[in-house]
Amino acid sequence: MVQSRTHTCGELRMEHVGQQVKLCGWMENIRAVSANLAFLVLRDFYGTTQVVVEDEALLTKVKGWNKESTVSVTGVVRERSSKNPNLPTGDIEVVPESIELLGRCRYNELPFQINRSKEADEAIRLKYRYLDLRNPEVKKNIVLRSQVVAALREAMIGEGFLEITTPILTASSPEGARDYLVPSRKHPGKFYALPQAPQQFKQLLMTSGFDRYFQIAPCFRDEDARGDRSPGEFYQLDMEMAFASQEDVLAVLERVLVPVFEKFGKYERVSQAPFRRIRYNDALEKYGTDKPDLRIDLEIQDVTELMSGIGFGPFEGQTVKAVVVTDFTATRKQIDKLCADVEVQVGQKPYWFRCDESGEIVGGIAKFVEPHKAAVVSALGLTPGCFVGLTAGKLSAAQKTAGVMRTKLGVLCPNHMDREQYAFCWIVDFPMYEIGEESGQLEFCHNPFSMPNGGLEVLQKAAAGEIDPLTVTAFQYDLVINGYESASGAVRNHDPEIMIEAFKLVRLGEEDVKAKFPAMYNAFCYGAPPHAGAAPGVDRIIMLLTGEELIREVIAFPMNKSAQDVMMGAPGEVTEKQLQELSIAVTAKEE
């Protein structure tokens, strides 16, 4: 039976006094004062309304129902004698003529209090996510998500982009993460893959003559969870432009994203276009990361030469980086914790010393620095009250450790971190190649489909040994917001000859390229336009807008850290018949 309602539980105001209304919702709470007086809080998607039960028979009926049962209330609106200014409906209440039970809650005890579900253990919240989502504080993130996606879609259409959906079942391809594979029943022994991104399809759309494409695209990657990354499945604003340069893409996204952050963001201040551009190598040198949080005003300095002769063993023969903090007021206990946290995160021990109020070098490695005080103070511009954090190791290790220390020092020192803003920047000129941690060989660093700076000529010089392949940069770019990578993109390599040369450097020949990327290679041979694109992460943008620290808080039905849906029981076992239909045998099971 369809339940008609005249109003929602967040709608009634003083102008409705005297009207007969019908409300439907969940019985959030009931407080009996006497045998013929009780206060019932009715909640729906839109808000709450107080219902005052003054009839003994009705009260007896309602007291037999568990909280969170769904009910309909028909009654008359009246002005409250004791108003609640904190509630939109706090000036009125409803006196019921009838209350009907629509859906009984059959449990006397709930897994958690609905309005305090965020305090519950995460595993319990995910198992009972449908109850967790009844909490207005949890629900509002999902509502905001819908509003932001609608705004992004409207903005992209306004920029002349056409929304096109691309396949979910596709072929496996080497794109940097593990694929989720789907066995084919009709083709035994062969597999589909869920797309890590619509990368190849959107490039094929460009070769098909579509000028501007976008979609709110689901992406699937079998990778571990982090606080800012959901395992398994995530969504991105995927976009591509034909006959476009890097600056064209950056300009579009700046026009699209700034109004979204201004309208929906937690903070009022938002970086204005054009965003700051920082070269990848400069970002590592100044901030120790390619994801710098520009709300922090600290920068890293190279002090290798300055510290090489102070007689401190860990600095000898190593690159040494420093982070100088003025007006430092943290305690020794806070410094020790900061250093311990840095070491746990990166596996490298940081060092430090201070300039006390009298200008003396104290704490940490002060005894090694003190004999060289004049040179150190002059080179670093130290004044009384300064703190100097130091890291040492090979260049990349020293930079990374200093970057983590910089971030933690910014959090520790409020005078060096302006939290109440969204600080945007573009990281550009990424290296085309890197040495793989596992393989120890040359691999693509960021995206194998990117156009190298210098085109075919620079790749040929690298292949001939005239230049180091690690010095080749690409037209690749990341958007960083408050220290989070929030979008990634590139100018694409649309020339088959350049593509083959790029893959040769990672030990893949022309036949390998044709085999791994047959559609794209063949399409490019029919004349492809220069094209470029990017893909801002929708989940991460919503996380930043809401100020949440965990990305799971902005996803309606997230998986846990182990990529499990504990509510639905996924992943789960299937029947032997299903396995036989797919020509699959399970050789090992989870213990």
Kindly report the CATH number assigned to the domain that includes residue 189. 3.30.930.10
Task: Tell me the pLDDT tens digit for each residue of 146-170.
Answer: 999 999 999 999 999 999 999 999 9
- In a shared domain, residues 88 and 195: no
Give, for 30, the enclosing helix (H) or strand (E).
strand 20-34
Can you give the residue range of the structural domain that contains 88? 14-103
Residue 519 structure tokens? 């559609």
Per-residue DSSP letter, 424: E
Nearby residues of 406 by Cβ (< 8 Å), 6 or more positions away: 287, 288, 296, 298, 299, 300, 323, 389
What DSSP element (H or E) covers 98?
strand 92-103
Q: Is residue 42 part of a domain?
A: yes
Last residue within a domain, chosen from 77, 103, 129 = 103
Does 75 map to a domain? yes
Whether 158 and 252 map to the same domain: the answer is yes
Q: Which residue has the tokens 């056409």?
A: 162
What is the SS3 assignment for 463? helix
On whether both 241 and 365 belong to a single domain, the answer is: no
Q: How far apart are CA 25 and CA 47, in angstroms?
A: 10
Q: What is the pLDDT of residues 498-547, one digit of tens each?
A: 999 999 999 999 998 888 889 999 999 999 999 999 999 999 999 999 99
Task: Note whether 308 and 267 are same-domain residues.
Answer: no
Does residue 301 share a domain with residue 259? no
Residue 269 domain-assigned (yes or no): yes
**Exposed, middle or buried, 59 (CB in 10 Å: 0-12/13-18/19+)?**
buried
Nearest C-alpha neighbor of 305 from the set 325, 282, 321 = 321
Verify that 183 and 270 share a domain, yes or no. yes
For the chain, the 3-state helix, strand and coil shares in percent, each to the nearest 5, are 35, 25, 40
What the block records as the tokens of 203 is 């490039």
Domain count, the chain: 3
The DSSP call for residue 118 is G
Residue 504 maps to a domain: no
With CA atoms as reference, report the closest residue to 417 among 271, 301, 297: 297
Do 487 and 574 fall into the same domain?
yes
DSSP symbols for 514-569? HHHSHHHHHHHTTT---EEEEEEBHHHHHHHHHT-SSGGGGSSS---TTS-BTTTT
Residue of 118, 151, 156 lying closest to 136 (CA atoms): 118
- Is the backbone peptide bond immediately before 571 cis, with ω within 30 degrees of 0? yes
Which residue, 262, 222, 245, 283, is CA-closest to 483?
283
Statement to judge: residues 256 and 330 lie in one domain = no
Q: What percent of the chain has pLDDT over 90?
A: 90
Whether the CB-CB separation of 144 and 542 falls below 8 Å is answered with: yes
Residue 34's CATH number: 2.40.50.140
**Among candidate residues 63, 517, 53, 479, the one with its CA nearest the CA of residue 274:** 479
pLDDT values of the chain reduced to their tens digit, one per residue, 591 residues = 456 899 999 999 999 999 999 999 999 999 988 888 999 999 999 999 999 999 999 999 999 999 999 999 999 999 999 999 999 999 999 999 999 999 999 999 999 999 999 999 999 999 999 999 999 999 999 999 999 999 999 999 999 999 999 999 999 876 667 899 999 999 999 999 999 999 999 999 999 999 999 999 999 999 887 777 788 899 999 999 999 999 999 999 999 999 999 999 999 999 999 999 999 999 999 999 999 999 999 999 999 999 998 999 999 999 999 999 999 999 999 999 999 999 999 999 999 999 999 999 999 999 999 999 999 999 999 999 999 999 999 999 999 999 999 999 999 999 999 999 999 999 999 999 999 888 899 999 878 889 999 999 999 999 999 999 999 999 999 999 999 999 999 999 999 999 999 999 999 999 988 888 899 999 999 999 999 999 999 999 999 999 999 999 999 999 999 999 999 999 999 999 999 999 999 887 776
Pairing of β 424-428 and β 276-279: parallel
CA 209 to chain centroid, in Å, comes to 33
In a domain, 204, yes or no: yes
Residue 591 lies in a domain: no
Inside any domain, residue 117: no
Supply the pLDDT for residue 1: 41
Burial class (CB in 10 A: 0-12, 13-18, 19+), 151: middle
Task: CATH number of the domain at 303, please.
Answer: 3.30.1360.30
Amino acid identity, position 129: R
In degrees rounded to 5, what are phi and psi of residue 128?
A: -110, 50
- Per residue in 49-88, pLDDT (tens digit) is 999 999 999 999 999 999 999 999 999 999 999 999 999 9
Amino acid symbol at 591: E
173 and 237 inside one domain: yes
Q: Based on the domain organization, do 174 and 244 belong to the same domain?
A: yes
Kind plus residue range of the DSSP H or E element containing 180:
strand 180-183
From the CA atom positions of the chain, what is the Rg in Å?
A: 30
Output the six-digit token pair for 501: 């040369």
Residues 402 and 313 occupy one common structural domain = yes
> What is the distance between the alpha carbons of residues 156 and 270, in angstroms, rounded to a whole number?
20
CB burial string 533-566: b at 16+ within 10 A, e below? bbbbbbbbbbbbbbebeebbbbbeebbbbebbbb
Q: Cα separation of 566 and 128, whole Å?
A: 9
- Residue 195 sits in the same domain as residue 246: yes
What is the distance between the alpha carbons of residues 346 and 267, in angstroms, rounded to a whole number?
Answer: 30
199 within a domain of the structure (yes/no) = yes
